[in-house]
Structure 1
Amino acid sequence: MRLLFTILLLSFPVIEIWGIFKLSALYGWWFFLYMILVTYLGWRLIKEEKQLVFAKLMGAMTQGGNPIKAMIGSARNLFAGILFIIPGVITDSLAVILLLIPIKNNSSQNVHPSEDDVIEGEYRRDDELLK
């Protein structure tokens, strides 16, 4: 099993490079434009995720959710951005699949109202005043 994994890991760059040559020969400048666009999108994904990671963590903690899930979601987006930056169609496909996997957010099930959340007040119907 370890040998199979090593062979697969070592052959992955060769397959990616072969795919780049074949697709660039087939599509020409369109494939080059695709590579530039995907690299830019991966860079933007990483940049925006770096700016939002602490806001996601604080939002998860203030809502009583699990901050580990917010960290996993941010790590997933950062890893997908790195995969987009690495040239190759296989890594781009893996990044898209990674981004499509949903992370379940059970923060609404963990929130229990406390006594501080109760708002006291008086009730009066407006239609009784009109009679």
Structure 2
Amino acid sequence: MRVLLGMIIVLSFPALEIYTLVQIYHYIGWWILALLLGSMLAGWSLIVGERLAFVARMSMTIQSGGSPLRALIDSGRTMIAGALFIFPGVISDVLAILVLFLPLRLIGGRSRQQTQADNGVIEGEYRREHDDRLER
């Protein structure tokens, strides 16, 4: 029963995408091709940009003492959004925008602005030295 339900969901998504594209075609005409091409190029650029930035993001997170899982989740979100943009259709584009811009704190993560370095505390060691020249 679960396999049948899974197959229905997987097969109905492309059919729903095609239906949506046909309905939008009736409103804007051939401009739908420009919309699909633009979303494909946006997805491709997201994936290429994230592929180049992943190593730098991971090393900065590790050097700052943050969790590498956070950087991995951020990169994964961008890659999933890029793949959804490449998939032709309007519904997948809307899902990609939601994945890309939905803040992680809504699904249980911390916001990017709150890091350990931003709490205003500077940690370090000091040593007081007595000098005769200071006592005047």
For the criterion TM > 0.5, the same-fold answer is yes
Provide the rounded CA distance (Å) in 1 between the counterparts of 2:95 and 2:9. 15
1:76 aligns with 2:84: no
Q: Indicate how the Cα distance of structure 1 residues 120 and 99 shifts in structure 2: closer, same or farther if over 3 A, else same.
A: farther
Provide the rounded CA distance (Å) in 2 between the counterparts of 1:120 and 1:48. 47
Provide the rounded CA distance (Å) in 1 between the counterparts of 2:25 and 2:95. 20
Equivalent residues of 1:42, 1:83 under 8 A apart: yes
Q: CA deviation at 1:12?
A: 0.8
Q: Indicate how the Cα distance of structure 1 residues 32 and 98 shifts in structure 2: closer, same or farther if over 3 A, else same.
A: same
SS at structure 2 position matched to 1:80: helix
SS at structure 2 position matched to 1:65: coil
Q: CA deviation at 1:113?
A: 6.5
Share of identical aligned residues, percent?
35
TM-score by length of 1: 0.78
2:38 aligns to what?
Answer: 37
In the alignment, structure 1 segments of 5+ residues that lack a partner are 123-131
TM-score by length of 2: 0.75
Task: Name the count of aligned residue pairs.
Answer: 119
Provide the rounded CA distance (Å) in 1 between the counterparts of 2:126 and 2:74. 34
2:101 aligns to what?
Answer: 100
1:64 aligns with 2:65: yes
Q: CA deviation at 1:34?
A: 1.1
Q: What letter is aligned with 2:33?
A: F
2:53 aligns to what?
Answer: 52
2:5 aligns to what?
Answer: 4
Q: Indicate how the Cα distance of structure 1 residues 6 and 108 shifts in structure 2: closer, same or farther if over 3 A, else same.
A: same
Provide the rounded CA distance (Å) in 1 between the counterparts of 2:63 and 2:100. 25
Equivalent residues of 1:63, 1:107 under 8 A apart: no
